């Protein structure tokens, strides 16, 4: 890409254009991340409230069934969409794509700015639902009709409408951001940055964005159709039914149609969160083990394969939905096939540290913690993906434990690892290492203690989405003690996140000054002239890429890393 001189002339000077109405991808990334973390804290508090009820039923008067189901619903929706999707694509994607591919900014900076403001609007609409009559929707994060829009479910008047509107706005925001990320990766890479030289972080975010662009429309249309069913009495998802004993005017719609649309979005959504995490963790492991990522090409193809396959496995969420049971054969097969590229990624991570020179700093701890929790989450997926094994486990706590391990805890560990890793570049100061280690151990051990035993409640048969478990004969007293223990751990982990928040703020002012490349990493974002990088990222000339991102410990060199823009003769990657 040729030098864009005009760019420098547009450097914003006022506070407003620099930090509020900014079109700089780095500022937008931070805006995305701050909003996501704040709304994530709301979801964290909600999970604590929910656990209070489950661990100590009846002890808290303000948690009645309505409130409980509202906590559950909002916790799930915020975590999946408004925290994880937003922070990986809007946060990490925005910050890292231009820097890692050697571009000055996203290709459509104005659209990028619109994206973050639409995201904020979506969050505001979502939060507003806490203050409308009836409160937010309590339909569960899957929002299954008919129940989501009928009386008997909390928030079935206003809450559900605001939820659907907020999702629609979020999807507009994600689309504007997504078009930018994809176009930037395809069109704005610097000289020498071939696709097969890109860091895996970019590959993960790139593929996840493509998934988002293809999957979110399914959620968008189902949200609109449900809004019509609710407000205009259409019957997309509503068959002839009763509600509280009264016949409704609807007829001919299909509740299962919604589930197909929802999971056609919902399963790729798992990978929209997981693929960036896979990419980031690959880079963290490689940098901090001082070793090239093992099997780079296979890793890239695994990301692509997972992305493609993720569109043909959705109905494994619907084995007991009442759909034609013949579908079970197909979806069980595709689901277990997707385990192969996923397993390859795990092997390659652990083979990367083999023969490495491992620095056990905070980002590396989070990365290794991720491999362990993701292994559990992935393996329990083999129970649920295999249709016959799913029959007893579906809708129990086994499912809750599984998806929290695989797409709650694991991606969050990567988010933390990524923040500890790139914070020096973003803030110009290091995060405190001691606080970071405390944060890691509390989070890692705490979440293990929460979710590992929870699988056993599911094996016992304890159903999920229950407000209380009183007087069920098959649930022994000891299960209640276990629930209490899980709740204590959950609150412990939640409180431990304050260490992280404190570290973020404290280090911004008091943290050790960061050098340009504190981790001695090869990828381009560490080769900027200033830290944090200035407007336009790269001074006069764009960097030129001469090698892949994983030239660590190349034989024959004194240093154990060769930056991607290092022109000297290194062990050229054979492509």
Partner 1 sequence: MAIAVVLILIVIGSIVFHFVSPWVMTPLASNWGAIDDTMLITLIITGIVFIAINFFIAFAVIKYRHDKNRKSKYEPENKKLEVWLTAITSVGIIAMLAPGLVVYSDFVNVPEEASVVEVVGQQWSWSFRFPGADNQLGKSAIEHISIDNPFGIDPLDPNGSDDVLVTGNRLILPLDQPVKVLMRSKDVLHNFYVPQFRVKMDMVPGTVSYIWFTPTKVGEYEILCAEFCGIGHFNMRGYVEVREPQDFDTWIQQQSTFADSLAKNNSEILSVAAKSGEELAQTNGCIGCHNFNDSSVGPTWKGLFGKTQTLVNGEEILVDEDYLRESILNPEAKIVKGFAPIMPPVDLDDLQVNALIAYIKEKGGSQKSNGEVQKETPSGAKLVQSKGCTACHSMDGSKMLGPTWKDLFGSQRELASGQIIEVTESYLKESIFQPNAKIVEGYPPVMPPPVVNEEEVVAIIEFIKTL
User: Residue 550 CB, nearest distance to partner 1 (Å)?
Assistant: 7
10 Cβ contact list (under 8 Å, min separation 6): none
By beta-carbon proximity to partner 1, the closer residue of 17 and 254 is 254
User: Residue 544 CB, nearest distance to partner 1 (Å)?
Assistant: 22
Other C-beta atoms closer than 10 Å to the C-beta of 57 total: 17
By beta-carbon proximity to partner 1, the closer residue of 176 and 303 is 303
By beta-carbon proximity to partner 1, the closer residue of 118 and 552 is 552
Q: Using an 8 Å Cβ cutoff, are 446 and 488 in contact?
A: no
Query: Which is nearest to 51 in space by CA: 492, 549, 573?
Result: 492
Structure tokens, 114: 């619109």
User: Residue 415 CB, nearest distance to partner 1 (Å)?
Assistant: 19
Q: Using an 8 Å Cβ cutoff, are 196 and 300 in contact?
A: yes
Other C-beta atoms closer than 10 Å to the C-beta of 326 total: 7
Q: Report the C-alpha gap between 475 and 91 in whole angstroms.
A: 43
User: Residue 397 CB, nearest distance to partner 1 (Å)?
Assistant: 10
By beta-carbon proximity to partner 1, the closer residue of 420 and 538 is 420
By beta-carbon proximity to partner 1, the closer residue of 114 and 442 is 442
Alpha helices for 139-254 (secondary structure H): 159-187, 200-231
User: Residue 281 CB, nearest distance to partner 1 (Å)?
Assistant: 13
Pick left, alpha or beta for residue 295 (phi over 0 → left; psi -120 to 50 → alpha; otherwise beta).
Answer: left
By beta-carbon proximity to partner 1, the closer residue of 463 and 534 is 463
Helix 433-460 and helix 477-510: axis angle, to 10°? 160
**Strand blocks (E) in 87-137:** none
User: Residue 273 CB, nearest distance to partner 1 (Å)?
Assistant: 21
Structure tokens, 486: 């899980």
By beta-carbon proximity to partner 1, the closer residue of 468 and 498 is 468
Peptide bond into 20 cis (omega under 30): no
What are the angstrom distances between the C-alpha of 393 and each of 287, 335, 400, 402, 459?
39, 16, 10, 11, 7
504 Cβ contact list (under 8 Å, min separation 6): 419, 423, 431
Pick left, alpha or beta for residue 471 (phi over 0 → left; psi -120 to 50 → alpha; otherwise beta).
Answer: left
DSSP state of 242: E
User: Residue 324 CB, nearest distance to partner 1 (Å)?
Assistant: 9
Structure tokens, 92: 């990490």
Query: Which is nearest to 159 in space by CA: 119, 186, 188, 128?
Result: 128
User: Residue 55 CB, nearest distance to partner 1 (Å)?
Assistant: 16
User: Residue 453 CB, nearest distance to partner 1 (Å)?
Assistant: 7
Q: Report the C-alpha gap between 98 and 115 in whole angstroms.
A: 16
Query: Which is nearest to 383 in space by CA: 270, 480, 459, 478?
Result: 459
Hey, is 396 helix, strand or coil? strand
User: Residue 16 CB, nearest distance to partner 1 (Å)?
Assistant: 45
By beta-carbon proximity to partner 1, the closer residue of 136 and 356 is 356
By beta-carbon proximity to partner 1, the closer residue of 98 and 377 is 377
By beta-carbon proximity to partner 1, the closer residue of 9 and 244 is 244
By beta-carbon proximity to partner 1, the closer residue of 232 and 326 is 326
User: Residue 521 CB, nearest distance to partner 1 (Å)?
Assistant: 14
For the chain, the residue count is 575
Q: Report the C-alpha gap between 200 and 206 in whole angstroms.
A: 9
Exposure string of 280-289, with b = 16+ CB inside 10 Å and e = fewer, is bbbbbbbbbb
By beta-carbon proximity to partner 1, the closer residue of 99 and 562 is 562
By beta-carbon proximity to partner 1, the closer residue of 180 and 394 is 394
User: Residue 337 CB, nearest distance to partner 1 (Å)?
Assistant: 7
Query: Which is nearest to 411 in space by CA: 305, 317, 279?
Result: 279
User: Residue 56 CB, nearest distance to partner 1 (Å)?
Assistant: 16
């Amino acid at each position: 890409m040729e030098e864009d001189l005009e760019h420098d002339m547009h450097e914003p000077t006022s506070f407003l254009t620099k930090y509020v109405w900014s079109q700089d991808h780095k500022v937008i990334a931070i805006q995305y991340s701050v909003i996501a973390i704040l709304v994530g804290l709301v979801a964290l508090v909600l999970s604590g409230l929910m656990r209070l009820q489950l661990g100590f039923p009846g002890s808290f008067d303000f948690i009645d069934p309505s409130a409980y189901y509202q906590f559950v619903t909002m916790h799930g929706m915020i975590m999946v969409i408004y925290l994880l999707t937003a922070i990986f694509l809007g946060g990490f994607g925005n910050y890292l794509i231009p820097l890692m591919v050697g571009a000055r900014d996203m290709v459509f900076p104005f659209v990028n700015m619109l994206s973050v403001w639409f995201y904020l609007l979506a969050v505001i609409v979502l939060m507003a639902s806490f203050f409308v009559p009836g409160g937010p929707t309590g339909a569960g994060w899957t929002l299954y009709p008919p129940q989501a829009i009928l009386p008997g479910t909390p928030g079935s008047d206003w809450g559900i409408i605001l939820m659907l509107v907020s999702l629609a706005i979020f999807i507009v925001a994600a689309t504007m951001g997504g078009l930018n990320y994809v176009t930037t990766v395809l069109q704005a890479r610097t000289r020498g940055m071939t696709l097969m030289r890109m860091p895996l972080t970019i590959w993960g975010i790139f593929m996840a964005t493509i998934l988002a662009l293809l999957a979110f429309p399914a959620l968008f249309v189902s949200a609109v159709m449900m809004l019509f069913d609710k407000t205009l009495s259409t019957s997309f998802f509503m068959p002839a039914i009763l509600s509280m004993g009264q016949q409704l005017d609807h007829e001919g719609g299909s509740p299962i149609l919604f589930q197909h649309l929802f999971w056609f979005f919902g399963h790729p959504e798992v990978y929209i969160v997981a693929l960036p995490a896979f990419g980031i963790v690959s880079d963290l492991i490689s940098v901090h083990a001082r070793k090239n990522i093992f099997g780079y090409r296979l890793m890239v193809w695994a990301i692509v394969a997972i992305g493609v396959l993720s569109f043909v496995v959705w109905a494994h969420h619907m084995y007991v939905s009442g759909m034609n049971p013949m579908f079970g054969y197909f979806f069980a097969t595709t689901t277990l096939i997707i385990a192969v590229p996923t397993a390859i990624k795990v092997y390659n991570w652990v083979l990367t540290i083999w023969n490495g020179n491992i620095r056990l700093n905070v980002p590396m701890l989070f990365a290794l913690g991720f491999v362990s929790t993701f292994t559990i989450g992935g393996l329990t997926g083999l129970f649920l993906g295999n249709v016959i094994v799913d029959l007893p486990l579906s809708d129990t706590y086994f499912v809750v434990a599984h998806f929290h391990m695989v797409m709650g805890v694991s991606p969050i560990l990567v988010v933390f690892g990524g923040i500890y890793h790139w914070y020096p570049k973003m803030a110009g100061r290091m995060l405190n290492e001691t606080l970071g280690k405390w944060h890691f151990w509390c989070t890692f051990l705490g979440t293990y203690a929460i979710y590992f035993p929870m699988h056993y409640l599911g094996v016992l048969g304890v159903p999920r989405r229950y407000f209380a478990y009183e007087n069920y004969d098959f649930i022994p007293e000891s299960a209640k003690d276990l629930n209490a223990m899980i709740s204590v751990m959950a609150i412990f982990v939640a409180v431990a996140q304050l260490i992280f928040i404190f570290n973020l703020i404290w280090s911004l002012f008091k943290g050790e000054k960061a050098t340009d490349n504190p981790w001695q990493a090869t990828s381009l974002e560490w080769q900027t002239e200033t830290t944090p990088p200035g407007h336009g990222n790269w001074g006069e000339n764009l960097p030129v890429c001469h090698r892949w991102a994983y030239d660590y410990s190349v034989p024959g060199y004194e240093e154990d890393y060769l930056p991607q823009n290092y022109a000297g003769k290194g062990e050229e990657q054979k492509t």
